[in-house]
Amino acid sequence: MRLKYIIEIAKSLLMARSKQTLVAAIGVTFSVAFFISLLGFMEGLNTLLDGLVLNRTPHVRLYNDIRPSDAQPVDLSETYRNHYNFISSIKPANARKEIYNAQAIISNLNADKRVLGVTPKVTAQVFYNLGNIELNGVINGVDVIEEARLFNFRDYVTGGDFMDLKNRSNTIILGIGLAEKMLAKKGDIIKVTTAGGEQFSLKVAGFFQSGVVELDKVQSFVSLANGQKLLGESGNFVSEIQIKLNDMDRAPDIARSISSFSVLMQRIFKLPMLSLKQVVAPAH
């Protein structure tokens, strides 16, 4: 009975001021609808940014850092060993650029249950030549299949098939901004000149569009074997190991554990220090 009276009272009050009730109802409906639309827009924008950045970014990068030696001659002196020594104009150590024993490292990482996948990479600084056009940029030599599996490489390739890098020799996928600057089309032959002065002819197999304009203006992709050939290196040469994890939030902890192992190996076998970078999921 009490519920019946409550409903009747509420109905009477609503009908007594029907115009004000209608205005209030429309206002609340519009506000809620606008709020839901705004949340949907923000969620879509976050998903887009994740796709542009995180899908193409390894959670942990392993590479051989070129830096000055940690042990300077003055630190070995008995006189100044326990002093604070300030040294200027230190030159980088004369170390190889590649990662030592890369295949064994990749095998060990693939056996780690925390790791979704691992793929090697080589990077070459080059000049792109097409007619009178010369542009500097970067060529990434990648394992095409693993790059597509781990970093959705196929989704960013337009105007061609990403598998052409693997199935056809001497092919290249240009960044879309770079291709526009060079007026290059699919099937064109471009020449690239490496930092060592070697020149190679490559056929354009397609275009890469990441959505990040500055990257698309300088970078391009070839197969891992072609990247090693551009640098004049053997098939064991790897300048970077990209690691994709099952749980991206664990990237800092895993990177620290790998770094600690690297320090131990350096002390035992006198190997160069490996550097790591990690990416953590952004807060939405």
Domain boundary assignment for the chain: 2-53, 59-278
In 3D space, the residue among 110, 131, 134, 111 whose CA is nearest the CA of residue 120 turns out to be 110
Q: Which of 40, 112, 54, 119 is nearest to 249 (CA)?
A: 54
The tokens of 166 are what? Answer: 């693997």
Residues of the chain with pLDDT under 50: 264, 267-271, 273, 278-284
Residue 279 confidence (pLDDT): 47
Amino acid sitting at position 279: V
Compute the distance between CA of residue 52 and CA of residue 211 in angstroms, rounded to an integer: 6
The confidence score (pLDDT) of residue 198 equals: 87
Among 57, 60, 58, 123, residue whose Cα is nearest residue 274: 60
In this structure, the number of other CB atoms found within 10 A of the CB of residue 187 comes to: 9
Asked if residues 166 and 223 have their Cβ atoms less than 8 Å apart, the reply is: yes
**Residue 113: Cβ-neighbour burial (10 angstroms; 0-12, 13-18, 19+):** exposed
Residues in the chain: 284
**In angstroms, rounded to a whole number, what is the distance separating the alpha carbons of residues 261 and 278?**
16
Which of these, 274, 178, 280, 278, lies nearest to 221 by C-alpha position? 178
User: Which pLDDT score, from 0 to 100, does residue 1 have?
Assistant: 55
In this prediction, residue 52 carries a pLDDT of 65
Would you state the structure tokens that stand for residue 185, as one six-digit string?
């089309």
pLDDT in tens, 17-53: 777 778 888 888 989 999 999 989 888 877 777 666 6
CA nearest to 109, candidates 149, 61, 65 = 61
Q: What is the pLDDT of residue 92?
A: 64
In 211-246, which positions are buried (b, 16+ CB within 10 angstroms) versus exposed (e)? eeeebbbbbbbbbbebbbbbbebeeebbbbbbbbbe
**Rounded alpha-carbon distances, angstroms, from residue 165 to 55, 118, 120, 140, 147:** 20, 19, 15, 12, 12
pTM: 0.71
Query: What contacts 89, CB < 8 A, 6 or more positions away?
Result: none
According to DSSP, residue 55 is labeled G
Provide CB contacts within 8 A for 283, sequence distance 6+: none
CB 109 within 8 A of CB 118: yes
Res 96: pLDDT: 67
The first and second tokens of residue 169, run together, are 């020799």
